[in-house]
Amino acid sequence: MEDSANSNAAQDAPSSAGAASIAFKAETRQLLDILIHSLYTEREIFLRELISNASDALTRLDFEMLTNRDVLNPDARLEIRLIPDAEANTLTIRDSGVGMTAEEMIANLGTIAHSGAREFVQAARQGGKNVADLIGQFGVGFYSVFMVAEWVRVISRSYRKDAQAAAWFCTGADTFSVEPAEKAERGTDVIIKLKDDAKEFLQEARLREIVRKHSDFVPFPIFIGQQEEQANRQTALWRQSPREVEKKDYEDFYKQLTLDFEPPLAYAHMVVDAPVQMYALLFVPASPERSLFSLRKEDGLKLYARKVLIQEYNRDLLPEYLSFVQGVVDSEDLPLNVSRESIQSTRVMVNLKKLVTSKVIDTLKKLAEEDAEKYNRFWQAYARYIKQGVAIEPNEPESLYPLLRFRTTDHPDQWSSLEDYLKSMKPEQKHIYYLLGDDERSVLYSPHLDIVRRYGYPVLLLTDPVDAFMLARLTKYKDFPLVNVANADLPAPEADTKEGDQQQAGVDAAGQSSLVERFKAQLGERVADVRMTERLSDSPARLVDPAGAPNQELQRVYRLLNKDFTPPKKVLELNPRHAILVRLNNMPPEDPLGPLVIEQIYENALLIEGLHPDPASMISRIQKIMEAALV
């Protein structure tokens, strides 16, 4: 179609009397009111949306022609052209894509993604946000044109040879019309009669600026007017040599891909020839939470085959625990089914997944080595994903171990890697010690730390519920087994005491036996057993599991998965050298303070393990003990 035809079409835009008039749904009418009568700081966004629609139409045709050359104008160049007409005050966005029939126009332009209008209206009415930023989120992109348009006429002809051209017309009022039209070539023209305050969009320099800002990486050439110089770079950034791409190019592409205005924490550019030929751009977002304005609505990578988009959200290219990664994967070797939405499960996909997964892990390792501060930001945001990976990775969970970070007794306010832990170990230390808890602060006061604290051994502090699942696989790092310091059968250090230690005098054998019986009588069936231990130094008592009970990690998993899980009764271990036990032993058995102290020792141990059902119930007993101490 010649440009003069566009001008004539623009002048004759109001529908003829014979055109079918169709009423918009109520929510669509509300949406148009918002777009027409609101002020916007970035009205240019309409052009991004129309170019995106045109690109999608071209992509769909490109895919169709992989298997079907029997289309209208099969040799027509796949392109997008922006045609400003200052005399008629119109701007036309033309593409040579898949086109639409009259029925498709009604379905695609009359219902606004079938469901998005209502949600858009609700979000817009909440206020506090630029309405232009919401466009695209709810599938209302085409209607953003009414920010600048007095009326819009869409003339389209489908790629099917027997299809008839049709025209859609709307002024933003309550109805739109659809009628037969004349159009010899395949594709779509969106003709916009601009408002008087939108004439900036007739300036070729302004159009070029907008294309560069929003649509630079659209995979089809964009031309302005009759010029043959492309306004966009078009070349898929992922297919360029990494040596030719600047950091800003990557960040600009990421912004266009996601509409995330915060730069990614890390990115990776892959160009691989074997075992498959592939290209990829992969990004780690600053946050796992998608913003309200994000263009990416689901997890998954954009999957291309020979630069043709096959799947918008492919979840088979990365394991579940790396689902937060955004980006593009393109392969020359990818076989396709007839259906665009499905791909054959072949060794090519297996190889692609292996390559992409390995690249993401290597990128994160590199980030940790080169920028510890930025990696700590990553860990704060994505720790549970990596821990989940250790728990579920079937083949090589060890590849994720260098990514793990922990608080430790040596550095409770810093993140430490397992490699950092090894550097802090004592020369005689043979295990990596850890302790599970419910709170980062209270776990530091656990009596289970007494034995390792005595020797200055560092301990990993694990307070995330996911840690219990992770430990099912993380049982050893290099040559050092991981050992829970809360285990009753914790391997003791080779020497019972450090050189120079002076053991505090404690309760003698007879007194120990007597104390054990007093505790058993007082606590009854609430405990599995009471016994003395040499594993404690600073604490009077601790609770450990009886022989044969599930280990602590498994118990925590049960607690998370089954609300009705009842933990096994614990064994109460007493420190015969602690001052409280020494004085309790010297207290006459008939002293009423004795049972109160026994109860408090036991419930303190429950509290520190996170097992106390009602901590507030201890208050009256604590007050009585305080009263007795002040006599």
Judge whether 625 and 596 are in contact, CB under 8 Å: yes
Q: Which has more pLDDT, 610 or 481?
A: 481
What's the mean pLDDT in 436-463?
91
Q: Across-strand partners of 305?
A: 308, 331
Q: Are residues 460 and 415 in contact, defined by beta-carbon separation less than 8 angstroms?
A: no
pLDDT score at 10: 41
pLDDT at 445 over 70: yes
Residue 280 pLDDT > 70: yes
Q: Which of 207-221, 278-292, 340-354, 389-403 has the lowest mean pLDDT?
A: 340-354
Q: In this predicted model, what pLDDT tens digit does every residue of 169-209 receive, in sequence order?
A: 998 777 889 999 999 999 999 999 999 999 999 999 999 99
Tell me which of 32 and 61 has the higher pLDDT. 61
Residue 17, number of CB atoms within 10 A of its CB:
6
What pLDDT does 5 receive? 40
* Residue 76: band (very low, low, confident or very high) from pLDDT cuts 50, 70, 90: very high
- Fill in the DSSP letter of residue 534: S
Sorting pLDDT into bands at 50, 70 and 90, what band is 478? very high
pTM of the model: 0.69
- The half-sphere exposure of 508 on its side-chain side, counting CA atoms within 13 A, is 2
Q: How many angstroms separate the most distant Cα atoms in the chain?
A: 111
Q: Would you say 523 and 438 are in contact if contact means Cβ atoms under 8 Å apart? A: no
Average pLDDT on 33-60 reads 77
pLDDT per residue as tens digits for the range 514-554: 999 999 999 999 999 999 999 999 999 999 999 888 888 88
Same fold flag, 237-374 and 406-498: no
pLDDT attached to residue 441:
82
Helices (H) and strands (E) in the chain, counts: 18, 21
pLDDT cut 90: percent of the chain above it:
59
Mean pLDDT (the chain) is 86
The answer to whether 348 and 274 are in contact (CB under 8 A) is no
H/E stretch holding 329 reads strand 326-331
Distance CA 611, CA 527 (A): 13
User: What is the bridge-based pairing of β-strands 187-194 and 278-284?
Assistant: unpaired
Where residue 139 falls among pLDDT bands split at 50, 70, 90? very low
DSSP classification of residue 431:
S
pLDDT of residue 522: 96
Backbone angles phi and psi of 444, in degrees to 5: -70, -20
DSSP state of 243: G
CATH class of 3-224: alpha beta
CA pair distance 7, 145, nearest whole angstrom? 19
Q: Is the dihedral of CA 199, 204, 208, 211 positive or negative?
A: positive
Residue 349's alpha-carbon distances to 273, 278, 300, 315, 400, in angstroms, are: 15, 11, 14, 11, 22
CATH, domain range 509-549+563-629: 1.20.120.790
Measure Cα distances from 587 to 165, 511, 517, 580, 629 in Å: 101, 11, 15, 11, 13
Which pLDDT belongs to residue 364? 98
Question: What is the CA 456 to chain-centroid distance, rounded?
Answer: 39
Helical axes 579-586 vs 593-608, angle rounded to 10°: 160
Q: Let me know: does 210 contact 47? Beta carbons within 8 Å.
A: yes
The pLDDT assigned to 138 comes to: 36
- Would you give the DSSP letter of residue 476? E
* 219 vs 76: which has the higher pLDDT: 76
- Judged by average pLDDT, the poorest of 140-149, 266-275, 597-606 is 140-149
Q: Is the pLDDT of residue 229 over 80?
A: yes
**pLDDT (0 to 100) of residue 435:** 95
DSSP label at 166?
E
Do 418 and 433 contact (CB within 8 A), yes or no?
Answer: no
**99 conformational bin, left if phi > 0, alpha if psi -120 to 50, beta if neither:** left
**Spatial separation of the C-alpha atoms in residues 483 and 462, rounded to whole Å:** 12
The residue extents of the domains of the chain are 3-224, 237-374, 406-498, 509-549+563-629
Query: For residue range 240-254, what is the model confidence (pLDDT) as tens digits?
Result: 999 999 999 999 999
The predicted pLDDT at position 31 comes to 66
Half-sphere exposure of 407 (CA within 13 A, CB side): 17
- In the chain, the amino acid numbered 9 is A
Name the DSSP class of 612. -
CATH architecture of 237-374: 2-Layer Sandwich (3.30)
pLDDT above 50 (res 358): yes
Residue 2, pLDDT above cutoff 70: no
Per-residue pLDDT for 134 more than 90?
no
For tokens 């770079």, name the residue.
233
pLDDT of 261 higher than 50 = yes
Q: Where are the alpha helices (DSSP H) in 371-489?
A: 372-392, 418-424, 450-453, 467-470
CATH number of this structure's domain 406-498, picked from the four choices 3.40.50.300, 3.40.50.720, 2.60.40.2470, 3.40.50.11260 = 3.40.50.11260
pLDDT classification of 14: cutoffs 50, 70, 90:
low
Evaluate if residue 501 carries a pLDDT over 90.
no
pLDDT over 70 for what percent of the chain? 85
At 119, the pLDDT band (50, 70, 90 cuts) reads low
User: Is the confidence at residue 430, as pLDDT, over 50?
Assistant: yes
Q: Is the peptide bond before 263 cis (omega within 30 degrees of 0)?
A: no
